[in-house]
Each structure stands twice: as C-alpha cells, then as structure tokens.
Amino acid sequence: VAKKSTAGVKEPLSRERIVDAAIALADAEGLEAVTIRRLALDQGVTPMALYWHFKDKDRLLDGIVERLVASIDLPAAERADGQPWHLRLRVLLGEMLVVLRAHPAVVPLVPTRFMLSEPGLDVTECALTLLHEGGFTPEQSAQLASQAMMSIIQLVTGEPGLLVGEEAVAREQRLRTKRAALQSLSPERYQRVLASAEGFVACGSETAYFDLGLDLFIAGVRGVAPEPA
C-alpha cells in the first residue's frame, strides 16, 4: 500500500533515535557537543521538535543514562552464584565497567542519574544484597554501593591517556604537551611526580589498570567488612 522504509524516506523521530544520536555524538565530539540544537540539526528537524519527545534537556540526558545502565549484564553477575559475596560483587562491578568503558564521554552523566531508572535500581538492589551478605548494615551498604559505582566511574573517566571528543583528534599533540609540562618540573622538588609522570599521562596496560582499580575497591570493602570472608 504505502511506501515503508524506502530509501530517502525519513523515519519520524523517536526517543530511541534521539538517544542513539546523542550517544553517538558524545562519542564522536564529546559531551559539550550534545546540544538540543545540534541534535535537531543532525536529524534535519527544528530544535523544538525534540521537546515533543522529551520535557527538557535534562530528561534527554536521563534517557542516555538509562540506556547505558540497561545494558549492564546483570544475569552474568548472578551466574557467579555460590562464590563468596566479594567475588560476586567484583563480577558485578566488572560488568558495569565494560558497559561504561564503551562510552566514556557520557559517563559523567551517570552518578546523579543512576538510581533514577529501573535498570539502575535493579543493579543497586543486587549490589546491596551482596553487601548485606558481607554483614554491612543497610546504611553502610547504601554508602558502599554509592562508592562502588563512583569507583567504576572514576576508573573510566580517569583512565590516563583517555581523550574524549575533539581532544581525541589532536591526541598525540595533547599527550606531548602534557608530558612536556610534567618534564619541566623541578627534579629535586617533584622527584616522585617525575618518576610517576608516565603513569599520569598514559597507562601501560589497560587490563592492569582496571584490575588494580577493582582490586583496590574490593580489598577496601573486605577490609572494613564485619564478616571475615
């Protein structure tokens, strides 16, 4: 009857398409590029068109986070059943890590929005259950769950050598500048900083970096846990 999805016919907007475009744009040009007007331009539409799909920009950003968090593989974390709680917690955090690592540019949006969506609450419930097994009170669990999430975020956004958006295009140049700045420091006053300089500007092994980050957090929770595990 009517033409459907033929070439050149533009599909109507939808929340999904907008969120897709926003994530892709952030990946390519950084979070600052994600603008109502820019998004509209890319979709060949008026800025106000977006306001039919989202109440305001903030809800759109909420949507981005929900999309990310929803793709966390929660079952994988539950498959580690039978293992001690801290090991299962590590698996859960590892699953969060792989999801967020894929889109580092939007990760800064996560902390304030994580518990605003159903998928985020599911992940939180899971983490809290594991911490309960570790013997923590509900209050302590709440704090530790928050800090666990923040540790992951921090690992992703703080990865040395990670450059996002337009920074990425002039990548080599950026790194050289940073290295130069560090190397111009007084060798006697900043002995340790200079020795660690390379560690601040890039990371030798990505897996070593993320493993140490996870180890650090897990060792911490175990250290403060009442139940010897």
Partner DNA sequence: ACCTGAACACCGTTCAAGT
Select the binding partner of residue 220 from a copy of itself, DNA, none (C-beta < 5 to 8 A, by kind).
Answer: a copy of itself
The Cα 160–Cα 144 span in angstroms is 25
User: SS3 sequence, 132-200?
Assistant: HHCCCCHHHHHHHHHHHHHHHHHHHHCCCCCCCCHHHHCHHHHHHHHHHHHHCCCCCCCHHHHHCHHHH
**Is 62 or 95 the residue whose CB approaches DNA more closely?**
62
Binding mask 3-22 for DNA (x = CB under 7 A): ---------xx---------
Select the binding partner of residue 58 from a copy of itself, DNA, none (C-beta < 5 to 8 A, by kind).
Answer: DNA
The Cα 221–Cα 214 span in angstroms is 11
Binding mask 143-182 for a copy of itself (x = CB under 8 A): xxxxx--xx--xx--x-x----------------------
Considering the complex, what minimum distance in angstroms separates the CB of residue 181 from a copy of itself?
8
Of 158, 49, 58, the C-alpha closest to 101 is 158
The Cα 102–Cα 95 span in angstroms is 12
CA quadruple 106, 108, 111, 117: dihedral, nearest 10: -20
Q: Does 189 bind a copy of itself (CB under 8 A)?
A: yes
Considering the complex, what minimum distance in angstroms separates the CB of residue 77 from a copy of itself?
15
Position among 30, 51, 146, 175 found at the interface with DNA (CB under 7 A): 51
Q: Which amino acid is at 172?
A: E
Considering the complex, what minimum distance in angstroms separates the CB of residue 48 from DNA?
4
Q: Is 100 helix (H, G, I), strand (E, B) or coil?
A: helix
Q: Which residues are at the interface with DNA (CB under 7 A)?
A: 12-13, 35-38, 40, 45-49, 51-53, 56-58
Residues that bind a copy of itself (CB under 8 A): 111, 115, 121, 124-125, 128-129, 132, 138-147, 150-151, 154-155, 158, 160, 185, 189-193, 195-200, 203-204, 209, 212-213, 215-224
